[in-house]
């Protein structure tokens, strides 16, 4: 039996530079990963299968067409695997949940069979975030997010992080379409912390216009005293970084009391 965590992805910064002729966007983004997420397990079987469970399992309409199945189909892994996915991360939430699941499959295959030399190409065909989720280490993504460079100085390893989602799914396409096409400049260089603090998320304004409650989440997080609070990806999940676990716990308790219906996940950056 294999098991792997599909680490929640957050975009510490996300700079949108231009809209391309192919409909995609040129990005500069800083990927980081939380030490919690979905959980996958797999056992040898005569054919591939996927069983889903957990709080958000019902949001997966067709398990056979899930990105986990597509990841299995993209890699040699023997006769088949029976995979169980515990879906802990909300769907369409800016956390790369499906991409993280695919990344976990790649790492499980790597542990048993190794990965083919072109694994990056295979991963990118499944989604722009998948190559970064395979690594699940801090890295800068450029192009559509698939061209990766690991961050040399990870001075946020172990940093307490709180994720909050108002249980409002936000599809990625409409948010990118609503971007105003203004290039606000490149992402800065430096350590992970420096890039995060000096960076921004260019999708925050269009996402708030589509899903106004995101602004409420950000305001609630900023009232808890983090050194950084920002929306991840195209929303609706927002994150806050703290200097201590005590501060994080106090923040989580405060938000739970004020907004008991919001989803939360507390952890540390990898």
What is the signed CA dihedral for 245, 261, 5, 127, rounded to 10 degrees? -120
Which residue numbers are catalytic?
Answer: 9, 129
In order, the DSSP letters of 33-70 are EEEEEEEEEEEE-SS-EEEEESTTGGG-S-GGGSHHHH
Rounded distance between C-alpha atoms, residue 270 and residue 72, angstroms: 25
Among 186, 184, 225, smallest CA distance to 205 is for 184
Q: Judging by beta carbons within 10 Å of its beta carbon (0-12, 13-18, 19+), is residue 40 exposed, middle or buried?
A: buried
User: Tokens in use for 55?
Assistant: 């709080």
Q: Assess contact for 268 and 160: CB atoms under 8 A.
A: yes
Q: Are β-strands 81-86 and 2-19 bridged in parallel, bridged antiparallel, or unpaired? A: unpaired
Which stretches of 67-143 are DSSP H helices? Answer: 67-73, 97-113, 119-126, 130-135
């Amino acid at each position: 039996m294999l098991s792997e965590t599909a680490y929640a992805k957050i975009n510490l910064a996300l700079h949108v530079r231009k809209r391309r002729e192919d409909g995609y966007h040129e990005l500069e983004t800083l990927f980081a990963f939380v030490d919690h997420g979905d959980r996958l397990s797999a056992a040898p079987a005569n054919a591939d299968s996927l069983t889903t469970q957990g709080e958000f399992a019902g949001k997966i309409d067709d398990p056979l067409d899930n990105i986990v199945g597509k990841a299995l189909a993209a890699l040699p892994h023997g006769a088949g695997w029976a995979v169980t996915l515990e879906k802990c991360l909300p769907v369409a939430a800016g956390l790369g949940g499906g991409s993280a699941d695919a990344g976990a499959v790649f790492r499980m295959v790597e542990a048993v069979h190794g990965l083919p030399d072109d694994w990056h190409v295979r991963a990118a065909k499944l989604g722009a975030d998948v190559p970064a989720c395979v690594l699940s280490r801090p890295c800068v993504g450029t192009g559509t997010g698939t061209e990766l460079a690991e961050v040399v100085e990870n001075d946020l390893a172990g940093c307490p992080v709180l994720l909050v989602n108002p249980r409002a799914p936000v599809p990625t396409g409409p948010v990118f379409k609503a971007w105003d096409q203004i290039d606000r400049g490149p992402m800065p260089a430096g350590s992970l912390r420096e890039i995060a603090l000096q960076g921004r998320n260019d999708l925050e304004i269009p996402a708030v216009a589509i899903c106004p409650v995101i602004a409420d989440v950000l305001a609630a997080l900023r009232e808890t005293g983090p050194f950084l609070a920002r929306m991840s990806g195209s929303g609706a999940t927002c994150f806050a970084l703290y200097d201590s676990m005590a501060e994080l716990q106090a923040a989580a308790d405060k938000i739970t009391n004020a907004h008991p219906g919001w989803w939360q996940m507390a952890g540390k950056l990898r």
